[in-house]
Structure 1
C-alpha cells in the first residue's frame, strides 16, 4: 500500500513540475474548434444516412 501512495505522490509531482501545460486560452479555443468540427461531422453523417435511407426505401418500393 505504501508503494501505491508513493506512486501517486510522485505522479502528482511529475505533473506539477515537469509537464508543460497548454495555456488556458488556447485550450478553450481548441475545445471550441473540436466542438464545431464534431457538430459539422455529425450533421454530414446524418445527411448521408438520410439520403441512403431514402434511396433504400425508394428501391424497395420499386421492387414490391
Structure 2
C-alpha cells in the first residue's frame, strides 16, 4: 500500500510541475483537427463498407 501511495504522489507531482500543458487555444485547435479527421475517416470507412455491401449483394444475386 505504501508503494501505491508513493506512486500516486510522484505521479501527481510530475503532472503538476514537470508536464508542459498547451495553451487552451492550441488545445482547442488540436481537438477540432482530431474531430474533423475522425469524421473524414468514418465517412471513408462508411463508403467502403457500402461499396463492399453492394458488391457482395450483386455477387450473391448473380448466382
| TM-score normalised by the chain length of structure 1 | 0.84
Aligned Cα root-mean-square deviation (Å): 1.2
Q: Which residue of 1 aligns with 2:13?
A: 13
Contiguous gaps of at least 5 residues in structure 1: none
Q: Which runs of 4+ in 1 moved over 3 A?
A: none
How many residues in Structure 1 have an aligned counterpart in Structure 2? Answer: 63
Q: Which residue of 1 aligns with 2:58?
A: 58
| TM-score normalised by the chain length of structure 2 | 0.85
